[in-house]
Structure 1
Amino acid sequence: MNPAYDMTYRLERLERGRAHRVLAVEQRLGGKGINVARVLSQLGTYACATGFADHTFAAAAAAEFPADFVPALPWVRRTVVISESRDGTATGLWEPGAYIHELHAVDRLRDRIEFLLPELKGLVVSGSLPGGVDETVPADLARAAVAAGIPTVCDVDGPALKVAATVPGIVLMPNQDELERLTGVVAERPEAVVSAAGALVDAGVRAVVATLGAAGIVAVTSDGAWSASLPEPLAGNPTGAGDAASAAVIRALATGDPDWPTLLTDAVATSAAAVVIPVAGEIDMTLRDRLTPTIRVTALDMPTPEPRP
């Protein structure tokens, strides 16, 4: 709901306090939801992006991929990634985004989603919120989709994640920091992730799929918990890796009741295939296919529920 112009500056090496000659510049339409839609398209799955934008961004999006944005933003922010060619380090600078003053903007977005619901096989609600949009909106959209029987993934942070975690049947996709802020549990190891996520699942969440960067992904459901990772981490630009994982997850959920180890294998391979691409919203399909058989999936023990007094 808070899209961006994704800017990538390529440098040999970034050094604080000095001027740099940029080797190359890339700009594209972006934002987490758009990244998800682009990866789904690469995977052969039709997806439509919606949210808030200004008129220029909305028109450019509709000309490039299936999109139907509410033109309620006065301007669209930029996200800047400084990519260092010497060692692959990436530094991100995220602008906060504009403030929505239009009184009925959220209602117009709800109307778009409700219109699409009968045709949807899956919904991803992801990213930050522009100013003026209440943190309950992602949860409201997710609740409507789940009530219609549509698998729904929510990848948000802060107060919006806390509200989304109260939606029965939702699939949450936090990273480690977001999960720790939500639950108050330090989740540095897969077993700790299971402990933190297990309470959310017990409260009604369908699944928690925690993305842990180089450590892989941990999924916790009412049927079990699993971790999946590469044999060796890949260097590159992690921006958009979580969005690629979201695309893999919703793609599997849209087909019915998934086999979670298989889903995690695909999510890790797809996420890793995004890391080697300098820009977000794109994956290396050849690398994804090559990595898939190497992914290690491990079943994790679920915590024993404490007896009720």
Structure 2
Amino acid sequence: MSPAYDTTYRVERLERGGAHRVSSVEQRIGGKGVNVTRVLNQLGRYAKATGFADHAFAAAAELELPNDFVLALPWVRRTLMIGESADGTATEFAEPGARVSHPHAADQLAVRIRGLLPGSTGLVIAGTLPIGIEDSLPAELAAAAVEAGVPTVCDLSGEALRLAARVPGVVLCGNFADLTGGSGDLDALLPATERLIAGGAAGVVAVRGPADLVARTPDGCWWARLPDPPAGNPTGAGDAATAAVIAALSHTPSPGWPTLLTDAVATSAAAVVVPAAGEIDRALRERVLSEVVVTEAEPSPLP
């Protein structure tokens, strides 16, 4: 929904109030949707990014991935991630972004997505909304996709997530705090995911940490994790997991969830070891697939 220029600084150690010598700098186009698009293409699944952007961002995106942006932003926000070489800690700063300048931008995006749906096998609606866009837009887009028979994953937060969760048939995927409003403790997480399923969601995938996911569907609940997750930059781990989820759902509407989660955890871990978000180490992904532990939980019955 709102792309960004992602900048990554590498320092030995971050100290508040101190002066720092940056050892390396990386800058690239990003945002959750762009990161998901990149990972899907690395997984061999053709994907196209859309959303709101400006002319410069759309031109930069054209050089590396398929896209169809609505040019309605006066400028595109930035995110800054500071990675510490000493212990692998990552600190992120995210700008709020610009206000959408075009009065009909939301309508244009809705028309664009409806035009893409007939040739699509999956849709991901991800990220924060630009200022000036109603929280109801993601839910409207998700409803159109579900009605068209296109598997849809919503990776959102706040009011936009609450409204999207009411769309029957969507799969919700994202940070456990965004999805549940509480801690990542399983005792608190399971009832919260049950309420989302009771509200109509086809599935909930909560990211508790890099390579640590909990999934709830009407048919069951599973916890998948790597016992010894790799160290690195966790910024794009959730986006990689979302890419793996939609890749599986676009292949079959009723996937085997333990297998889906195994792949999502391995893909998430493969993103952690890469310094910049939106990339995965495909060799590591294949290597850790056999190490993922999936445990079936026993949630209370849905109302």
Work out the CA distance in 1 between the residues paired with 2:112 and 2:145: 12
Q: Tell me which residue corresponds to 2:3.
A: 3
Are 1:274 and 2:271 an aligned pair?
yes
Q: Give the residue type in structure 1 aligned to 2:22.
A: V
Structure 1: stretches of 5+ with no match in the other structure: none
Are 1:83 and 2:80 an aligned pair?
no
Q: Tell me which residue corresponds to 1:148.
A: 148
Q: Tell me which residue corresponds to 2:202.
A: 206
Tell whether the 8 Å contact from 2:224 to 2:293 is kept in structure 1 after alignment: yes
Aligned-pair identity (%): 60
How far did 1:189 drift? 2.5
Tell whether the 8 Å contact from 1:13 to 1:86 is kept in structure 2 after alignment: yes
Which of 213, 217, 220 does residue 221 from structure 1 map onto?
217
Q: Tell me which residue corresponds to 2:39.
A: 39
Q: Give the residue type in structure 2 aligned to 1:197.
A: T
How far did 1:16 drift? 1.1
Which of 247, 269, 279 does residue 243 from structure 2 map onto?
247
Partner of 1:172, secondary structure, is: strand
Question: What TM-score do you get using the length of structure 1 for normalisation?
Answer: 0.95
**CA shift in 2, pair 1:243/1:305, >3 Å:** closer
Tell whether the 8 Å contact from 2:177 to 2:184 is kept in structure 1 after alignment: no
Question: What TM-score do you get using the length of structure 2 for normalisation?
Answer: 0.97
Work out the CA distance in 2 between the residues paired with 1:214 and 1:33: 18
Q: Tell me which residue corresponds to 1:62.
A: 62
How far did 1:232 drift? 1.5
Tell whether the 8 Å contact from 1:187 to 1:196 is kept in structure 2 after alignment: no
User: Structure 2 matches for 1:85-104, cutoff 5 A?
Assistant: 85-104=85-104
Q: Tell me which residue corresponds to 2:26.
A: 26
How far did 1:103 drift? 0.6
Partner of 2:49, secondary structure, is: coil
Tell whether the 8 Å contact from 2:198 to 2:302 is kept in structure 1 after alignment: no
Which moves more between the two structures, 120-129 or 100-109? 100-109
Are 1:195 and 2:197 an aligned pair?
no
Work out the CA distance in 2 between the residues paired with 1:22 and 1:117: 44
CA RMSD of aligned residues (A): 1.1
Work out the CA distance in 2 between the residues paired with 1:22 and 1:63: 27
Work out the CA distance in 1 between the residues paired with 2:205 and 2:109: 26
Work out the CA distance in 2 between the residues paired with 1:109 and 1:231: 42
Q: Give the residue type in structure 2 aligned to 1:232.
A: D
Tell whether the 8 Å contact from 1:244 to 1:281 is kept in structure 2 after alignment: yes
Q: Tell me which residue corresponds to 1:49.
A: 49
Q: Tell me which residue corresponds to 1:71.
A: 71
Work out the CA distance in 2 between the residues paired with 1:94 and 1:8: 12
Tell whether the 8 Å contact from 2:6 to 2:31 is kept in structure 1 after alignment: yes
Work out the CA distance in 2 between the residues paired with 1:203 and 1:95: 32
Q: Tell me which residue corresponds to 1:112.
A: 112
Q: Give the residue type in structure 1 aligned to 2:247.
A: R
Q: How many residues align?
A: 302
How far did 1:295 drift? 0.2
How far did 1:305 drift? 4.3
Which moves more between the two structures, 216-225 or 170-179? 170-179
Q: Tell me which residue corresponds to 1:237.
A: 233
Partner of 1:204, secondary structure, is: coil
Work out the CA distance in 2 between the residues paired with 1:195 and 1:17: 42
Which moves more between the two structures, 199-208 or 29-38? 199-208
Tell whether the 8 Å contact from 1:179 to 1:187 is kept in structure 2 after alignment: no
How far did 1:162 drift? 0.6
How far did 1:175 drift? 1.2
How far did 1:214 drift? 4.4
Q: Tell me which residue corresponds to 1:296.
A: 293
Tell whether the 8 Å contact from 1:158 to 1:178 is kept in structure 2 after alignment: yes
